[in-house]
Amino acid sequence: MKRPLPDLPVPPHDLVEHLSTLGLVNMYAQFEILYGGRTNRVWKVLGDNGDKVLKLYSPTLRNPLFRNDAKLEALCLKAFGPTGFVPRLRAAGQYKDAHWVFYDHAPGTPWQNGSDKVGELLRRLHSLPNTIPAPAGCNGSADLMAHGSRILQGCRSEIGNELAKRQPSIPVPPTTKTCLIHGDPVAGNILVASRGLTLIDWQCPALGDPCEDLAMFLSPAMQRLYRGSPLSEAEEVQFLSAYRRPEIVARYQQLKPWYAWRMAAYCLWRAENGAPDYSEGLKLEIETLKPIEFI
């Protein structure tokens, strides 16, 4: 089994040498570790011509919910650079058995409030023509049921068995109106600055149901992990109103129990695999699946 990347304060010296030969950094560059990500190693590269970001992708086993594809991230940053809501890509490559991406550092702080702006951002993304060869995402309740069940198969506790019995029962058919989705638009991946919002961490895009992005942003567990608390009912309404796609919002409401059930399965899997902070997220997602009698 491949080991996770060490939590290095600076990139490996030979990687810096390689980047130097490409003219991306100099050998005396200063690095500042960024702690926002939960999978990869990310550093801010301080420079006179503007700060950059170096992301070194973890070569460990795949996450059951979020892919970790450096090539897709590079393609998305290149394709969407002209929109202004993604960082500008500078270069991408490979270091030993891991990949790296190098791009301009986006100013701003992780999103905390103003859910209407996020609704507008996702509407804009979902309206763009797709030129990215992204894999298909989950589409409809049958896909979500299969995905959640696969995640639960990797869980060991009795809660997993009980959660498997509590999957939603109302089917929702697939949509024919798929688009490119970000796949992980959580608060930590949305940076707020005076010029607007920047959407970062494009390692798991998909050609799928736009409801997936809505559900990921609205997820109580993800809001708790990245912002500190779930959205209020008023913030949810504000977000969905600003998205301004009534038919997609109505579809999301139908699929909401399925997304909550799959997210509960994922939180359980993470809690069982070295991330105890997901336990609170599990409880929050289960709350949306009442009546649940095992908590």
If DSSP codes are grouped into helix, strand and coil, which group holds residue 191?
A: strand
pLDDT in tens, 86-99: 999 999 999 988 99
Structure confidence at residue 146 (pLDDT) = 98
Angle (deg, nearest 10), helices 158-165 and 141-153: 160
If DSSP codes are grouped into helix, strand and coil, which group holds residue 32?
A: strand
Model confidence at 52: pLDDT above 60: yes
Among 47-61, 202-216, 262-276, whose mean pLDDT is lowest? 47-61
Model confidence at 243: pLDDT above 60: yes
Cβ 96 vs Cβ 68: under 8 Å: no
Task: Compute CA distances 143 → 160, 209, 284, whole Å.
Answer: 19, 11, 23
Model confidence at 127: pLDDT above 70: yes
Structure confidence at residue 166 (pLDDT) = 93
pLDDT in tens, 251-279: 999 999 999 999 999 999 999 999 999 99
Structure confidence at residue 113 (pLDDT) = 97
140: left (phi over 0), alpha (psi -120 to 50) or beta: left
Model confidence at 6: pLDDT above 70: no
Cβ 122 vs Cβ 81: under 8 Å: no
| Maximum separation of any 2 CA atoms in the chain, in Å | 60
Which of the pair, 2 or 12, is modelled with greater confidence? 12
Structure confidence at residue 59 (pLDDT) = 81
Region 100-110 average pLDDT:
96
Structure confidence at residue 47 (pLDDT) = 82
Region 111-135 average pLDDT:
97
Model confidence at 58: pLDDT above 90: no
Cβ-defined contacts of 63-67 (< 8 Å, 24+) = 63/39, 64/150, 64/151, 64/154, 64/266, 64/269, 65/147, 65/151, 65/262, 65/266, 66/39, 66/183, 66/184, 66/203, 66/204, 67/135, 67/183, 67/203, 67/204
Model confidence at 60: pLDDT above 80: no
CA distance 56 to 34: 12
Instruction: Please report which confidence band the pLDDT of residue 2 belongs to, taking 50, 70 and 90 as the band edges.
Output: very low
Instruction: Please report which confidence band the pLDDT of residue 36 belongs to, taking 50, 70 and 90 as the band edges.
Output: low
Structure confidence at residue 292 (pLDDT) = 44
Q: Which two tokens stand for residue 198?
A: 């920047």
Which of the pair, 294 or 14, is modelled with greater confidence? 14
Structure confidence at residue 35 (pLDDT) = 76
Among 45-49, 133-137, 160-164, 233-237, whose mean pLDDT is lowest? 45-49
CA distance 286 to 222: 13
List, in order of start, the domains of the chain with CATH numbers.
13-105 (3.30.200.20), 110-287 (3.90.1200.10)
Phi, psi of 104 (to 5 degrees): -65, 140
Structure confidence at residue 63 (pLDDT) = 92
Cβ 138 vs Cβ 243: under 8 Å: no
pLDDT, the chain, mean: 93
Structure confidence at residue 49 (pLDDT) = 76
If DSSP codes are grouped into helix, strand and coil, which group holds residue 283?
A: helix
Which of the pair, 97 or 149, is modelled with greater confidence? 149
Residue ranges of the alpha helices (H) in the chain? 13-21, 70-80, 115-127, 141-153, 158-165, 211-218, 220-226, 233-243, 246-272, 278-287
Model confidence at 38: pLDDT above 70: no
If DSSP codes are grouped into helix, strand and coil, which group holds residue 98?
A: strand
Q: Which two tokens stand for residue 168?
A: 């939603």
